[in-house]
Structure 1
Amino acid sequence: MTLRLYFMRHGETEWSKSGQHTGRADIPLTANGQQEARRLGERIRSITFDHVLVSPLKRARQTCELAACSEGAETEPDLIEWDNGDYEGQTHADVDTQRPDWNLFRDGCPGGEMPDEVSARADRLIRRLKKLDGNVALFAHSHIGRVLGARWIELPVQVGEHLILNTASLSILCYQHEDSNVPAIESWNGGNES
């Protein structure tokens, strides 16, 4: 079987709704986020997953459970969200008042992770994922997902800035013509119309 990665961002949280940077804060889904996760489960119901990996954070675990994928799911520490350090809980506007022209994918976060650290974490995860076969469900977060997408197709971490991921979205990473020498993105940021 050929490897196909189904990357799913967690449902809405209070901070994703307000635009606050949410890295390691372990906050739950909103009621709307729970509904988004259930709808995500309906969209993937026909897919049989050979492996299910989930971030250790509550919002990703809740999404996995509400999408009916938690049976046999394994916690994957490298799927945890980008550590926002000093910018945790702040909006982009808040950070801009302290540091105009700040860009997460270029500048990283003081007291948190830098782009090369997140890139190395994504590369480590990709190396492990490439040893698997079949359909793999990944339940995680926006920024690590964007880095994973960029690194999957062997582009620099900074490309993640251009890869938007909405809450409860589904993206598929695979290989072009099933050739493991040509990683590809089949679809990106699909499915959440809420």
Structure 2
Amino acid sequence: MHTPDGIVPGSLVLVRHGETEWSRSGQHTGVTDLPLLPDGERAATRLAAALAEYSFVRVLVSPLQRARRTAQLAGLSDVEIDPRLVEWDYGAYEGLTTPEIRERLGHAWEVFNDPIEPGETPGESLSEVAQRAQSVLDDVVPELARGDVAVFGHGHALRILAAVYLGVDPAFGAQLVLDAGSISALTHHRATRCIGAWNLTPGNALPA
């Protein structure tokens, strides 16, 4: 998919992995390496037709199995595993839903606004996730001069990556809904970075 003016011909395509048990239940899934549910595998398979419309010069994939399996089922085999694409490390809040965290803390905690406490893992701040995203973008944005680049990853981390790409506060990711098994495209209008498409799924704008 190319921009009309051709100044920057490629799109940066973000693919969130298919549904897992915890993405279905709303539990924060950072470093826990869960497999796709059967529904998640079917959704990943249905992404193949839409992704075939792109000419990928590079495909980066999170090392977690839910992202790797999504890329595989979507028909992409020539991929690079990139540890920078792992999901936000939620520390002590891993495996908990937002209501459970709020009950534990006694106030209206929200992941994009409030601190992450260390647990079995150290946890990450929003700015630390944004720094990882910037590192990825520093690598792949120059590749858009040659064609499209795909990134297979996770809900919160990809929302933050999109905000960093657009040059806005990483907390803007809170306003970007990103469903499991969805495709989004970041592109340019002339020299301005833009959202070309967002949160497309087989149940929402993509063929079922």
C-alpha separation between the residues in 2 aligned to 1:176 and 1:6?
16
Aligned residues: 190
Partner of 1:188: 198
C-alpha separation between the residues in 1 aligned to 2:194 and 2:54?
19
Question: In structure 2, the residue corresponding to 1:150 is in which secondary structure?
Answer: helix
| 1:169 has 2:160 as partner | no
Name the stretch that deviates more: 11-20 or 120-129: 120-129
Partner of 1:65: 72
Give me the TM-score of the superposition, normalised by structure 1.
0.94
Cα drift, residue 128 of structure 1: 1.1
Partner of 1:81: 87
C-alpha separation between the residues in 2 aligned to 1:108 and 1:81?
16
Stretches of structure 1 lacking an aligned partner (at least 5 in a row): none
C-alpha separation between the residues in 2 aligned to 1:51 and 1:63?
16
C-alpha separation between the residues in 1 aligned to 2:203 and 2:115?
30
Question: In structure 2, the residue corresponding to 1:50 is in which secondary structure?
Answer: strand
Name the stretch that deviates more: 37-46 or 147-156: 37-46
Asked if the contact 1:15/1:22 (under 8 Å) is kept, the reply is: yes
RMSD across aligned positions (CA):
1.3
Question: In structure 1, the residue corresponding to 2:131 is in which secondary structure?
Answer: helix
Percent identity (aligned): 38
Asked if the contact 2:36/2:66 (under 8 Å) is kept, the reply is: yes
- Runs of 4+ aligned residues of structure 1 deviating over 3 Å after TM superposition are none
Give me the TM-score of the superposition, normalised by structure 2.
0.87
Asked if the contact 1:54/1:139 (under 8 Å) is kept, the reply is: yes
C-alpha separation between the residues in 1 aligned to 2:55 and 2:131?
30
Partner deviation per Cα, 1:51-96 (whole Å, 9 max, x = no partner): 1110010000000000001x21001111110001100000111101
